Amino acid sequence: MRFDFDALVEVLRLAVLSAISDRDVTIRELSRIEPLWAVSLDILPWQPYVGIAFRLESESDYGASSNSADWKHSHFIENISSAPLSVAADYVHRLHQEFNEDVSLEVSHLILLAGAHALLDSRVALLLRSIGIDAPEINERLSGTYFKYFVIDSDGTIKANYCDIVRANRATRFMLGRIA
C-alpha cells in the first residue's frame, strides 16, 4: 500500500482554497468586525472530519490557546456544510483506514503534516489577503508576524503545531543550502 503525500497535500490545498472562496463574503464581514489573527485547519483522520476555524485578535493574547475548539469561531467551515471539505474529509478518512491499526498514529501524523503543507501554500495566504486578512506568506525565511497558521494533533500524540514544524524545516533547508 502506497501513501501519496503529494496527492494528499493537493486534495487538502484545493479543499481549503475552495472552502474559503465559497465563504469569502462571510469571512470578510467577520474580519471587518474584528481582525482575524489565526486560521486552523482541523483534521480528524480517524473520523471523516475536516474544518476551518478562525481566531480573533481579542483571543490572541500571549497565553492564547492553539486549540481551535477554544476559539469563538471554531468550526467556522466544516465538511458537513462545505462540499470541498466533505470531499477532503472522505479522502483523508479512507486513506487513514487503508493502513493497519499498528501504524495508525504514524499515518495520522503524515495526514496532519500534509494539512500543514496545504494550509501554508502561498495561494492560501494570497486568498486570505484578498478578503481582508493580513495573512503572511510563509516561505523559507523566518520573520515575525502576529498572524498564525495552525494544524494541531487533537489527540495530542505530537504536541506541536504542524505549521510551525513545516516552517522550521523550510528555514532549515534554506540555511543549510546556503552554508553547507
Encode pLDDT of 72-86 as tens digits: 999 999 999 999 999
Number of folded domains in the chain? Answer: 1
Q: What is the pLDDT of residues 107-146, one digit of tens each?
A: 999 999 999 999 999 999 999 999 999 999 988 887 778 8
Segments of 45-91 assigned E as strands: 49-56, 73-78
Beta-bridge partner residues of 44: 49
In Å, how far from its chain's centre is CA 119?
4
Query: What is the span of the domain harbouring residue 78?
Result: 5-179
137: its cell numbers? 506568506
| CA 18/CA 180 separation, integer angstroms | 40
pLDDT at residue 180, rounded to an integer: 64
pLDDT at residue 165, rounded to an integer: 95
Write down the pTM of the prediction: 0.94
